[in-house]
Structure 1
């Protein structure tokens, strides 16, 4: 598999190289030189999830890694269920939160961990990643205890839920966490600065587990195939899919699935009040504003770093960007969506509620669709209980960590301070 740097197309790398580098020169994102088109998609959709995922990822990776290696990576990474749940006559929820950290990030993080464990070599690696909520837990769980891998997770202090925080800041061992006194965009900027610093990048053999790493995006393609496979058991048309969008890695994976031949009618990019992309799609001006804190905190991203990949897919496939619908859902609309879903007998959390609302307002009379439920409602227990007047029971994974001590250090959004800390702890 060959990939090129979107900022510097002359920089071309293999999947293994992109996996280890994370970012290209000048913070450029790696993008595939070729998107494989699958044959006999209907036959693929009839396969079980793991078997189908081997074929889907094999289309990308078998020529470089060998199909047997791809099969082993998939079997080790995708060892938990997912489900498609009807909500009303026109909408179904793709529940992606049945993995070990109760969030969709488990798919990408576990696949990346297995890839690095298999392909990373014997020298120690450092994983540096920023999280707006769920990435931190998924990455920490996926890499916890792996030999020769150290992990440092940055997150915005006081701007993720307490239970989200507890899931990755209480582990210790090879997992190090930093609460940054700012927002997610500042955390992401610090990560990008670290990749440009020779002492850190080369001295610590730096890698990133954010959705900027191509291995995570490839893994996420697989659950879009599962969504349509289950949808096709009841319907023959192509669904509309609404994706709760923050850093836009999830939508990127969905678009890659469609580019491979998956029958999806169209995508809806659903954001909260951080509406850079919906405004861009409507008016043509890329004009990020100051990040706004919302109840859907994992989507509090004003400058989504995966957006260049979205545009690259549309260019590669010669799709007009007008085929992508962008919808911004306000806090009051999120509240109303939570109430509506609760009334329908479906327990959601704010991110799923945003996607569900966007899907409802965008479906035409003859369309049906799927919205992505990216996290277990109990990960946002404080918000859900407040908005619905309920008292959610905690699943075992959260009950286990709720009383544990947070082991994070707090730093200002200052690269010099972060560099000194990283070299002290990891050097």
Structure 2
């Protein structure tokens, strides 16, 4: 598989190199040079999740990874289902929270860990990543205890849910967590500065596990196929998929699935008050505002890193950006949506509720809707309990970590301080 740097097309790398390197020159994102349509999508959709995913990823990677090895990697990573739950007559929820950290990031984080284990050399590897909530837990648990790999996770202090924090800041060992005095964009800016520091990169073998890493992105393509596979065949071409969007890796993966031939009619990018993309799609002006803290904190991103990949794919496929649906919901609208969705008999959390509300508002009479549920409601227990008057029981993984002490360090949003911490 050949990939190129979107910012500098002269930089071309293999999949293994892209996984190890994370970012290209000038903080450019790697993107597949070829996205050939799959030869028989209907037959592929008849297969079980793991067998289908191995074939799908094999189609993308070519002969870079043997079929036997890829099947083993997928079997080790995707050890949990992604069921499609019927919410109403024409709307379904794709539940992506049945993995070990109860969030959709388990798919990408665990597959990336398998890739790095397969591709690593004897050189030291330090994973540096920023999280607005769920990436941190997925990456921490996927890499916990792996020999030769250190993990450092930055997150905005006081701006993720307490249970999200407990799930990845209580592990210790090769997992170091840092609460940054700032928002997610400040954390992300620190990661970018680290990747621009060549001596630092070489000294600690820097890599990133954000959705900027191509291995995570390709893993996410797989669950879009799983969603459509669970729809009746007659409804697949009428499917509209609503994606709760923060850093826009999730939407990018869905669009790649469509480019490969998955029968999705269209997508809706649903954001919270951090609505840089919906405003851009309406006005054509890219004008990020200061990041606002919301009930749906994993989407509190005003400068989404993956948006250049969306633009690149649409350019290559000849798709108009105007065909991409979008919506913004503020906190008051999110609370209302969560209540109405619960009234339909489905317990959700703020991110999924935003995607559902955008979907039901934009779904035509002849269409079928799927919205992505990216996290278990219990990960936002305090907020959901308060809004819905419930007492959600904690699933096993959350109950276990809720009782453990936090092991996080605290740092200002200062690269010199972070650099010293990474080298220390």
Q: Calculate the aligned-residue CA RMSD, in Å.
A: 0.9
* Residue correspondence of structure 1 range 240-279 to structure 2 within 5 A: 240-279=240-279
Report the alpha carbon displacement of residue 403 of structure 1 after superposing the two structures with TM: 1.6
In the alignment, what sits opposite 1:194? 194
In the alignment, what sits opposite 2:32? 32
Report the alpha carbon displacement of residue 121 of structure 1 after superposing the two structures with TM: 1.7
1:224 aligns with 2:245: no
SS at match of 1:231: coil
Q: Could you say if the C-alpha distance between residues 413 and 266 of structure 1 is closer, same or farther in structure 2, counting changes exceeding 3 Å? A: same
* Residue correspondence of structure 1 range 135-284 to structure 2 within 5 A: 135-232=135-232, 235-284=235-284
SS at match of 1:79: coil
In the alignment, what sits opposite 1:315? 315
Report the alpha carbon displacement of residue 236 of structure 1 after superposing the two structures with TM: 4.8
Question: In 1, Cα distance between the equivalents of 2:166 and 2:173?
Answer: 15
The C-alpha deviation readout for 1:146-183, integer Å capped at 9, x for no partner, is 01100000000000000000000000000000000000
Question: In 2, Cα distance between the equivalents of 1:227 and 1:142?
Answer: 23
Q: For the Cα contact (< 8 Å) 1:62–1:70, is it kept in 2?
A: no
In the alignment, what sits opposite 1:285? 285
In the alignment, what sits opposite 1:358? 358
SS at match of 1:220: helix
Question: In 2, Cα distance between the equivalents of 1:234 and 1:403?
Answer: 48
Q: Count how many residue pairs are aligned between Structure 1 and Structure 2.
A: 424
Question: In 1, Cα distance between the equivalents of 2:181 and 2:321?
Answer: 36
Q: For the Cα contact (< 8 Å) 1:61–1:70, is it kept in 2?
A: no
The C-alpha deviation readout for 1:53-92, integer Å capped at 9, x for no partner, is 0111001113212222211111111111110000011210
Question: In 1, Cα distance between the equivalents of 2:238 and 2:257?
Answer: 13
Report the alpha carbon displacement of residue 124 of structure 1 after superposing the two structures with TM: 2.1
Task: Return 5+ residue gaps in structure 2 as ranges.
Answer: none
In the alignment, what sits opposite 2:418? 418
Q: For the Cα contact (< 8 Å) 2:244–2:355, is it kept in 1?
A: yes
The C-alpha deviation readout for 1:328-358, integer Å capped at 9, x for no partner, is 1121111111111111111000000000001
Query: Larger deviation: 248-257 or 360-369?
Result: 360-369
1:298 aligns with 2:298: yes
In the alignment, what sits opposite 2:21? 21
Q: For the Cα contact (< 8 Å) 2:228–2:236, is it kept in 1?
A: no
Q: For the Cα contact (< 8 Å) 1:270–1:355, is it kept in 2?
A: yes
The C-alpha deviation readout for 1:165-224, integer Å capped at 9, x for no partner, is 000000000000000000000000000000111232110000000000000000000000
Q: For the Cα contact (< 8 Å) 2:236–2:263, is it kept in 1?
A: no
Question: In 2, Cα distance between the equivalents of 1:20 and 1:76?
Answer: 19
Query: Larger deviation: 226-235 or 353-362?
Result: 226-235
Q: For the Cα contact (< 8 Å) 2:235–2:368, is it kept in 1?
A: no
In the alignment, what sits opposite 1:341? 341
In the alignment, what sits opposite 2:52? 52
Task: Return 5+ residue gaps in structure 1 as ranges.
Answer: none
Q: For the Cα contact (< 8 Å) 1:126–1:204, is it kept in 2?
A: yes
In the alignment, what sits opposite 1:89? 89
Question: In 1, Cα distance between the equivalents of 2:336 and 2:89?
Answer: 19
Question: In 2, Cα distance between the equivalents of 1:324 and 1:237?
Answer: 16
SS at match of 2:401: coil
Question: In 2, Cα distance between the equivalents of 1:235 and 1:420?
Answer: 55
Report the alpha carbon displacement of residue 234 of structure 1 after superposing the two structures with TM: 7.2
SS at match of 2:168: helix
